[in-house]
Chains A and B, each alone.
Chain A
Amino acid sequence: MATAVDRDQSHTTEDLYGVRWGRLKPVKTEHYTYYESFYLDGVEYRVNDAVYLHARDGPPYIAQIAKLRQNIVNRKRTMLVRWFFRPCELPPRLPDVDYSENSKEIFMAAGSQHTKSFQNPGCTIKKCTILCTANETWNRMPSAEEIAAADHVFDRAFDAVKLRFNRLDPSKESCGEFLRSCFIKEKLKVERSDRSGQEVKGNREFRKDVIGRGTNSGSQSNMVNVVGPRNQFSGLQADQTSRRVSSEDPTAVSFTERKAFQRSEGWKRSSGEMLDDQRPTNATRVDLKRSSKDAGHDIPTDSQKRRRLDSFRGTVQEKNAHVAGGYREIEKARLNSQTRDMSVLPRDRPSKIQLIDGNKFSERKHEGTEPYTSLSNRSNKTRINQVGGAREAAIPSRLVREGVPPPSTGKNRLADQHKSSRILETNLQSQPVRHHHSSAERARSSSLEHRRSEGAVREGPRDERHGAYPDKAPSLKNVRDTTWDMRQAKDVQMHLKHQHPKSTTTSSRTQYGPQVRGDRTYTEDALRPSAKVEKSRDNAEDEASRKLKPGPYLEDLFERPDRTSGRSFKASENHRSSGAVVSAPVLERAFSTGANGELYVPSKKIFKFSWDEKKIVEEAVSNGRALLLKNLDPYLNSVELEAILENVLDITCDVRILPPRCITCYKSAEAIVIVKKADIAEDVLRTLTENILTISENERPVLASRFAKPKESIENFHGFFNLEKFGWKINASVEQKNAVSTSHCAQSNTVEYEMGLHWRLIQDRDATAWKTLEEEHAKDLQKLKGKYLKLLR
């Protein structure tokens, strides 16, 4: 519920756009002062409130207010928000995501340090409810009713750079402060806000100054600049009633937990001192810009002036229209006139949207609000159903134990898989888990039984370890397809041309298209769903089939290892014939082990995001975290190798196959593996030297060593002469110079040609040597094989 306007705040002036700023926080940094809240049409928006930022037609952005601050120098007021992704904003076909329109689940944005560069002057803002349902000790697990009442729930963070899901981790620098301040210490926060009431007096003088400036400047325009993630919405989920997250059950956090967090590192920082320059990651700015005459830093353009006039006219109507609902509606006619090229822009391109410039509300209130209510009613029903489905997700896992496939089909089946696997995942965590619902306990017990029954079949210590890394999702990690980068963008452009043959001009693209580099990854991914959707719009059948079948590899991920295992290993065949091997359960997450701990990685067309930072390698090599794996199958991909290592050795690592040592001899490959700590590297090295890891069917043993390759440098290149080095200055024209330096075939009567012949000789000799060596090696191996064959006989 919206809190009532405090009496003591009434002296705070309202600016032209109806924004009234609340109390100042006692905290103050060198450049900024902080506010606790602001009022808009009698609704208080506090820090940590979840809000919808409605930027255009379609579902709004979901964000949570992180900071409200004002620059001391230029008086610019800024709202920093943390974004949440809707499923439709994620890259398509992630196996664990429910892409349906009514899905309540959202994902916290993480990973990127870059803020968005494009700005939306003006947007509507409205409260909503977000609940954290992460099954962690720090989290107060909301009840089922709360979840049903909430607009959105989240329990994972999506890394927009690495394109993978992260666990919510309050100890992490990036999102820790946010999580702690929003969801953990709710009681503390309330206490603090009470306390801060007394401290307001100290800041009153300062605020008077602010107010005085505000009132003196006669013509001020507040521009709400929303810098937001790209909108790619397909469904509306908006409630008319506003709720506050922070007001929910503040007593839920127990004292001991709070103590634990106080002890934990970095708690002090989160407990009220807003360190300013550390913006929350992925936080984006909503600027409430004030352009006053005396400040003179913002010269209003003609269009802004016009808008201001409009806004004066519309104030009364706005006020009336806004008593009931929290939504500020876009005046569509003006929107169209101002952003004509926006409306023709492709929906997936980040665009500069001018929505409301403050206080012109909709005169056509009914048109705007009715669809929301009807849709929200509908989605509420379905949401509750979905929550129910999540609770009963223990059933599939039990069925799997008995070897019966889950009875649901199509989308529901996939959703069930998704939910149930996540429940299993959370239950497997080593941390103590609170049980809020009995079905989760059932799921846990059943999954444990299931695990035990499997463990009886498997040999070695691997089986227990296999279950011990719940937060690893190899299938999720490797979502990135590197070819997407350039080609995909082209595809989408092509497609859009097809859709808007006239309107998608280059000018609009140049205006809105270019992104800063940090955002590029994200935006390109956001391009993908739109491309898919728009493609499938052409034929309804395609769309229907896509809904049923979210990705070609999803089925493959849960594929059972039948033929390959039977063929390659006799031992496993025996097991299978005796019926001891449990059929690979659906919940086994992309990998299934047979007897002897063999492991089958169905390789996918999924590739990791580019891994080209040489700093990573340099640092890892100097810290002793880098390993070199030799004698690999040349057909192996980095992703496959990473998945193999993660499953066989139970490590998290970065893997790259290195370029071939010699392009004429490519019978074996090598790879660099970077693990997280030096002692893990030692462990891995020991494991791999004591045991032997074999990959692929021809059972070639993998050799491991520390990574100690000589660095490539220009000095290693021989045979490229710079004539000026010899003191020879070419007194020739530019053309002649270029003729020497550009590529050319050497003429047979030149010195160059003779020298080149020597090099060619070396090349040929080298190729022959490699060939001979290869043959010799093959003979050696053949001999060895023969020896053991004889022994077997």
Chain B
Amino acid sequence: MSKNLKRVMVIGGGIAGIQASLDLAERGIKVELIEKNACIGGRMAQLDKTFPTNDCSICILAPKLAECSRHPNITLHTLSEVKNLSGQPRNFNVKIFKKARYVKEDECINCGLCIEKCPMRVDDEFDMKLRKRRAIYIDYVQGVPSIMRIDRKNCLLFTKDACRICEKVCEREAIDFDQKDEELELNVGSIIVATGYDIFDPKTLGSLGYGRYPNVVTALEFERLICASGPLDGHLKRPSDKNDPKKLAFINCVGSRDIKNNPYCSSCCCMYTTKEAMIAYEHDNEIDTSIFYIDLRAAGKGFREYIQRGCDDYAIKYIKGKVAKILEDDQKNPLIVYEDITTSQVKQLKFDLVILATSMIPKKDAGNLAKILGIKINDFNFFKANSYQPQISSKEGIFLCGACREPMDIPSSVVDASGAAAKAAEIVMRG
């Protein structure tokens, strides 16, 4: 006989996982929220603004983060991953592997003293490696839970058995190097997978010069570059000479709609490149932007009007063209060589900074998680969703939402998340 556990596990604490958790919690269902990182927030926390309203991303996300961490029906498991699944719908048994934080969650007050004193300098993943962080750190300043963690790979105590400075400076004695990784078992009635996406690495497309030309960056790097809390405090400079860039180019479909890489459309790039161009223009009205596209995909509510505003009010030029390659002149200005689709002519244009709208790709470990959960993935490694009930996975009792099943924007992820919550509730609340 199976128990009907009125408890749901949500895997992934990005906007989709957060929304699903909050809906379920408000519905009166207990939620176990599993997050791999030390803070919830996901990709949305990395974005500067969000289209089509251009609200500041963290501003609208922060209240949700706090709500999530405060809700009595939500138990937050950070630094945690799913290791094993057994049982059946309405009575799943999930093994969770929780990495040691080496910081006592109840003691740390996020005062930052330890960060100041830590001697290590490591690439900051949250800031797309555009600045350094320490080996003890918080994922991002507004992160929730707002407590430190120690990165074992880089901490001198673990690598060289030395240092322990953070331990000495911490006034609250919150550092605990004896913490051990843990395994815990959770019993839930249903599972929602909301693990999000990774970013396509444009280095594999040698012709675009990413990695070789300093003034060619990815869109997510650009988000951090223009973000007020990013590495440049929101004052956009081009990487090579720290000059104010005046001519920007965005290239859509980098790695997407491309048989050799990702044949699918990444859904959001037409909109977010427009958004990034708008923000850049708001920072500096002398900025002149071109967006290279194949088809302008803007079918969501108010999206087409948004693109129109981009043309009319933000001086954005939309160029229907396929970019063949990027060259660089002796001032390190990127030169875009492209085929104008409407006239079939090959042209070349010079820019100060080029931004690549790289495709959203499945999480590196999606295949592994699929195996653990026993759900199917599609040809591209996204979790396989039912065509007409897109929150339904290939396995009963396990649901999908957000970009882990297909590239999608924030509104769609939120809809998807609430939808997955409804499906999970259907399983655990069924009479």
Specify whether A and B are partners: no
